Amino acid sequence: MELLYNIFVDPFIQMYEAPDFLLQVLWEGLVSGVLYALIALGFVLIFKSSRIFNFAQGIMVVFAALTLVGLHENGVPAWLAVPITLGVMYVLAVGIERVVLRPLVGQPDIILFMATIGVTLFLIGFGEFIFGGENKVMITEALGIPTGALEFEPFGGFVLIEEKDLAAVIMAVLLVIALLAFLNRTSMGRAIRALGDDHQAALSVGISLSTIWVIVWFIAGVIALATGIVWGARAGVSFALEVIAYKALPVLMLGGLESVSGAIIGGLLIGLLEKLFEIYWGQPLLGGNTETWFAFILALFVLLFRPQGLFGERIIERV
């Protein structure tokens, strides 16, 4: 009886009694969700255009962030370090297309997936060689990102919102709007979507596979840089950031691998629900740390009913 009370009644009493705390939990969940969505977007873009599950997305986040910080440490001003980092990500995209993807055109998906594991290992080694393994501080202030905090006192309590988290949310929203506009309103965006729908048909109407791949990997690099900046501003820049890529997996399972809106809604849903579950059920009843598995269980539950995810395309294969 007590267990049932703790599951079905007590959490809601806590929410009612401390609404300011609930607001803080929801805000933290929203910020986490935005960050998860950003990582997932990088995966979705590449999968959408090439059916490749890019295992290297996590290390691209680290590589982009380290390049930015590394350039600044060597005296390059932040306003210049950002475009140079984007240039590096473009060169990386061209390199991956020329050296890794192009020779593997027509190979099974699993081969291309394995190739991205190779890219990951290369970037880890190369990144550690160039930048070292030490933790670095994100150049938050130099980038003009505010570092203060806003305090509110709703319901007689308090809610604290860090300005850099607010900036992260705004930046993510702008990035997503720009991305959606690019994909839906430009000919290049339509070409990417066409390639994702049917490679052979897209090629037959003159869409260049190699150009699209370079562009898509470059956009994934831009998203990686944005992700690296916002995550790095929270807890420093190190190779530990690579681990956060795994947080995108349940988002992709939930939202669908080829849906941009699925990545965003999936990320927000997981961010909010895992935080609520951890605070009101996980910590009091299960000893905490439920965030390591909650999202996967939620995604598995969704897959039971929608194997393609909430927003994924249903693939019907006829024999």
Q: Which residues bind other proteins (CB under 8 A)?
A: 18, 21, 24-25, 28, 31-32, 35, 74, 124, 128-130, 132-135, 137, 149, 160, 162, 231, 234-236, 238-244, 246-247, 275, 278-279, 283, 287-289, 291-292
Nearer CB in complex with other proteins: 76/78: 76
Q: What angle do CA 254, 273, 275 make, to 5 degrees?
A: 130
Whether residue 150 contacts residue 166, with contact meaning beta carbons closer than 8 Å, is answered with: yes
> Side chain identity at 173, as an amino acid letter?
V
Nearer to other proteins, 31 or 226 (CB): 31
Residue 21 Cβ, how far from other proteins at the closest point, in Å?
Answer: 6
Single-letter residue type at 234? R
Tell the smallest beta-carbon distance from residue 37 to other proteins (Å): 14
SS (H, E, C) 270-288: HHHHHHHHHHHHHHHHHCC
Q: Which is nearer to other proteins, 89 or 215 (CB)?
A: 89
Measured CA to CA, the distance from residue 183 to residue 217 in angstroms comes to 14
Distance of alpha carbon 75 from the chain centroid: 29
DSSP 8-state symbol, 3 = H
Residue 9 or 137: the one with the smaller Cβ distance to other proteins is 137
d(CA 179, CA 188): 12
Q: How far is the CB of 162 from other proteins (least distance, A)?
A: 6
Q: Which is nearer to other proteins, 138 or 220 (CB)?
A: 138
Q: How far is the CB of 254 from other proteins (least distance, A)?
A: 16
Smallest distance from the beta carbon of 131 to other proteins, in angstroms? 10
